[in-house]
Structure 1
Amino acid sequence: MVIPILMEGKSKYLSSLLVIILLAASSLAVHAQEKPRIFVSTDIGGTDPDDFQSMIHLLMYADRFKIEGLVSTSFQTGRKQNILDMIDLYEKDLPKLKKHSKGFPDPASLRNICKQGAIAWAPYKGFRKSTEGSEWLISCAKKSVTQPLWVLVWGGIEDVAQALHDAPEIKKNIRVYWVGGPNKKWGVNAYDYIAENHPDLWMIECNASYRGWFMESESPKDITAEAYYPNYIKGRGEMGKDFIHYYKGHIKMGDTPSLAYLMHGDPEDPQGQSWGGSFTPITRSSKTIFNRNSTVADTVATYGVIEWRFNGPKINVPSDSTVFTLSIGGQHWPGYYISEGTYAVRYSPKQIEVGEYVTISSITELNGQKGTYVSKAPWPGKPEPNDFKLEQHWYGDKPDQELFLGQQQGAKTVSKHRKAFLMDWAKRWEWLE
């Protein structure tokens, strides 16, 4: 009788083990099916209308995400109202969209998460004061959930910098995908603050790969930037009617790769393949400090941070006051009084270039300072003493020469998926017929 007793015990053990395995598998399956939590910071309504295109795309795929924040961060004319206007169009198209998927969010719920973020770039110290947008980011990041919050930054990174300054503990709960490049040029002080003080942030810094979204070296004729609208968008829904107002309907959507990154591929593996690109871990980010005027002999990394420091008189103004201007190519950046007769200004070149600058100020010593710099790829370039030291989860554009598209580093990691993405989107436009 001993053997049956043993067999009976073994049977009960195996049954219990099977139940545990099935429960674990069920839990994993449920987790795998959870919609990614996303928080979008956009400069929609600013000088570049491509964010309107990206917002329309986001709303057409809203059934695939748990959208927790839509924040306006434009430093020009764009405001929260621009996002609300897009939601109005979405509401009109929603009945048709819901015929194909039941997961689309209610327009009222989307309006409730629209917030106003920073409307001015950060001063030299990299942060200013909390905004409705930065406070909402902190609130979303502190939710008691197991999923990370994906923060997709389509413009300046000021609200992220402010949130990290006010509540650094949120870092463990967020993943940031930032479309940098030109946005880094304008948000260089906020970036400097983040890289210097929060190098342990989980960050994809996409300075150039995103350009593969609208560079068409190998695109079929029916999905070129000019052809896609008449072939797949025109006449379809209220959002389709509105699309023609941005670049005459020509596809750009330079910020959309941040969302596409979550749509196809494993987002926890930035080195893998995804519609939003493939990235490499980086342990440093380029920063060069000049305590003099730079010259054509001075080479810096494209997308790196350049800081010029000047000596001048001690003046009775608060630290971080704007007291001079740096002019490059007809555009202007504020220069700041640091303290004790030291002045500084930062800049980040968005492309390979030979740039010239001049300073403008009512302070004699700060007026008419001139210089040149040469920016080269790949980023982050050769090591410099003042480079930011980054930690484990910071990723950048892949530097391999075969992945360049023209001068754009890593762009082929996005452009290779352009057809698959656009044809997937074309199916959604059919829903609005």
Structure 2
Amino acid sequence: MYAHASSPRRRRRLAIATLVALTAAVLPATAQAAPNVSAGTLSTSTGSGHQQKPRVILTTDGEVDDMDSFIRYLYYANEFDTAGIVLTSSRFHWAGDGDTVKPYRWTGTKWVNDYIDRYAKIYPNLRKHAAGYPSPDNLRSLYKIGNIANVSDTADPTAGSDLIKKAILDNKPGPLYVQAWGGLNTVARALKSIEAEYSGTKKWDAIQRKVNSKLVLYNILEQDATLKDYIKPSWPGVKVIDNQSQFWSFAYAWKPTVPQPYQYTLRSSYMQDNFLNGHGPLLKQYRTYRDGNPTPGDDENLRWRPEASEENENAGYDVHDFISEGDSPAFLHLLDFNGLRSSEDPTFGGWGGRFTPNASGWGDTSDANPYTGNQTDRSYPQTRWVEDIQNDFAARADWGHASSYADANHAPKASVMQGTNLKAEPGSKVALRGIASDPDGDRVSYKWWQYTDADTYPGEVPLNHTDRPNVAFTVPADATPGSTIHLILEVKDDGSPALKHYQRVVVTVTG
């Protein structure tokens, strides 16, 4: 349940007055601010309050769901420091070598530039709504062909592997997130080139430390053998966020996993109204179930066929139902603009799923699904956000064709007066004051909730007035020092589509 704020004009006056008061505010004695740096190892924060854009390299095998993921990525490109777009192969798609290896389900190399050309046509409109969108020429310069001849191909360096190698070895600060939308073979080739150049030299130990501290792989499925056979054995210090199952809930088989109340955002009517009809040249290429648009070269993918059948794997899906963006979680995980802070620590959870530590980094895990009686559900860390993810994308789809800022909706902004990292003792009271604003003057509503699956405290804490800006709770007496409680402030506007912003507060229990 949400509680509405007052009228936009009065709310803005109250917000200004509140912010002025906050400059002299003192935190409650029972909840002290912790340093505003997460305990997670992947934070992009500089420590000065400024949040760097996540630096990413996309690697894709050109499957139809990769193409749809790339379209979504372009609408969010202002949120990232894109360092490369690399075409690679996988066990599902390869180009062949023109001699002994024949192509398999290969969709070609031209589609990326075609999509960037289409992005160029909406680029002026996107810039009216947000700063930081990369120029089409910049994106074109970052597109390289990697190792595509065969599955697990690492035979020779390529333009794509050289780009990845150069980015790994440069001196730009912060993590480098390399996303495996296909196989990891081009990444493996880059690492092989680094090993070949430096192994046995005086620089080798320093190079290994640099790679281990910098490179973060987000792996979707096991799309070739190079992670298991080369990267993990040869580079055991490289961090891997391994998504082996959660991505399916945003892929071809979403119908059995996405909760029924959220499925409308993946159904034909929503897809047509918000993405397919009249939303410009880039979304004209967006593919859906049974839409009659085959993917050139991929003769085995028959989900586009208008007639529904089990043979086509499209039975149960209507014309223009969402088909798949199985690779989008790789970058949704890094979208810190929403306030969930998921890139700071993969265990936090967010739009790209939630993960638990393992020997090589993190693997996807389960959340309790309230739609199935709170049973543990491997899909729910992803599916719990589907409605919000789709509505946010629908707003950005409007940005691409809206002629002015006022012609589209923009997300509200949530913050918490006391900060986002707090410390409190067992038995003490924690009082939090939420603040919300909306750039369009929309009415906003509030909702506080505990993300119990992300907590390390094994239980729920009673929250009072969860539908108001202010909330309070008492730290349980049995909370052990070092355990954490995750509170989410969720602010929602009444625009169309309705958009949300969150603010996660992590309370660490002290002795």
The aligned residue for residue 62 of structure 1 is 77
Q: CA, structure 1 residues 129+31, in 2 after alignment: closer, same or farther (shift >3 Å)? A: farther
Deviation at 1:119, TM superposition (A): 0.9
Task: Please give the TM-score of this superposition, normalised by the length of structure 2.
Answer: 0.52
Matched residue pairs, number? Answer: 290
Question: What is the alpha-carbon distance in structure 2 between the residues aligned to residue 275 and residue 35 of structure 1?
Answer: 17
3-state SS of 1:167 partner: helix
Larger of the two Rg values belongs to structure: 1
**Which one of 104, 124, 134 corresponds to residue 133 of structure 2?**
104
After superposition, where does 1:357-376 map in structure 2 within 5 Å? none
After superposition, where does 1:336-375 map in structure 2 within 5 Å? none
**Which one of 283, 299, 317 corresponds to residue 240 of structure 1?**
283
Q: CA, structure 1 residues 230+136, in 2 after alignment: closer, same or farther (shift >3 Å)? A: same
- Consecutive unaligned residues of structure 2, counting only runs of 5 or more, are 1-35, 38-44, 95-104, 196-206, 292-319, 402-511
The aligned residue for residue 114 of structure 1 is 143
Residue 395, structure 1, aligned to residue 373, structure 2: no
Residue 280, structure 1, aligned to residue 356, structure 2: yes
Q: What CA deviation, in whole Å up to 9, does each residue of 1:353-378 have, x standing for no partner?
A: xxxxxxxxxxxxxxxxxxxxxxxxxx
Question: What is the alpha-carbon distance in structure 2 between the residues aligned to residue 103 and residue 154 of structure 1?
Answer: 24
Q: Which amino acid aligns with 1:71?
A: V
Residue 144, structure 1, aligned to residue 112, structure 2: no
Check conservation: 2:144, 2:159, Cα contact below 8 A. Answer: yes
Q: What CA deviation, in whole Å up to 9, does each residue of 1:188-232 have, x standing for no partner?
A: 245322222222211011111112224233343530243332121
Question: What is the alpha-carbon distance in structure 1 between the residues aligned to residue 370 and residue 397 of structure 2?
Answer: 31
Q: What CA deviation, in whole Å up to 9, does each residue of 1:335-390 have, x standing for no partner?
A: xxxxxxxxxxxxxxxxxxxxxxxxxxxxxxxxxxxxxxxxxxxxxxxxxxxxxxx4
- Consecutive unaligned residues of structure 1, counting only runs of 5 or more, are 1-23, 284-389
**Which one of 213, 220, 231 corresponds to residue 172 of structure 1?**
213
Report the identity percentage.
Answer: 28
The aligned residue for residue 396 of structure 2 is 428
Q: Which amino acid aligns with 2:219?
A: W
3-state SS of 2:281 partner: helix
Question: What is the alpha-carbon distance in structure 1 between the residues aligned to residue 367 and residue 125 of structure 2?
Answer: 44
Deviation at 1:71, TM superposition (A): 0.5
After the TM superposition, which of the residue ranges 247-256 and 56-65 deviates more from structure 2? 247-256
3-state SS of 2:218 partner: strand
**Which one of 158, 162, 185 corresponds to residue 135 of structure 1?**
162
Check conservation: 1:281, 1:396, Cα contact below 8 A. Answer: yes
The aligned residue for residue 228 of structure 1 is 270
After the TM superposition, which of the residue ranges 131-140 and 235-244 deviates more from structure 2? 235-244
3-state SS of 1:227 partner: helix
Question: What is the alpha-carbon distance in structure 2 between the residues aligned to residue 247 and residue 158 of structure 1?
Answer: 32
Deviation at 1:176, TM superposition (A): 0.8
Q: CA, structure 1 residues 135+411, in 2 after alignment: closer, same or farther (shift >3 Å)? A: same
Check conservation: 2:288, 2:321, Cα contact below 8 A. Answer: no
**Which one of 379, 388, 391 corresponds to residue 411 of structure 1?**
379
Q: Which amino acid aligns with 2:193?
A: D
Q: CA, structure 1 residues 235+145, in 2 after alignment: closer, same or farther (shift >3 Å)? A: same
Higher helix share: 1
Question: What is the alpha-carbon distance in structure 1 between the residues aligned to residue 377 and residue 86 of structure 2?
Answer: 29
Check conservation: 2:367, 2:380, Cα contact below 8 A. Answer: no
After superposition, where does 1:155-304 map in structure 2 within 5 Å? 155-168=182-195, 169=207, 170-180=211-221, 184=222, 186-214=223-251, 215=254, 216-220=258-262, 222-233=264-275, 234-244=277-287, 248=291, 249-251=320-322, 252-264=324-336, 265-283=341-359
Q: CA, structure 1 residues 235+72, in 2 after alignment: closer, same or farther (shift >3 Å)? A: same
3-state SS of 2:132 partner: coil
The aligned residue for residue 107 of structure 2 is 78
Deviation at 1:236, TM superposition (A): 0.6
Q: Which amino acid aligns with 2:212?
A: K
After the TM superposition, which of the residue ranges 152-161 and 74-83 deviates more from structure 2? 74-83
Q: Which amino acid aligns with 1:255?
A: D
Q: Which amino acid aligns with 2:116?
A: I
- Provide the alpha-carbon RMSD of the alignment: 2.9
Question: What is the alpha-carbon distance in structure 1 between the residues aligned to residue 287 and residue 330 of structure 2?
Answer: 23
Q: Which amino acid aligns with 2:166?
A: S
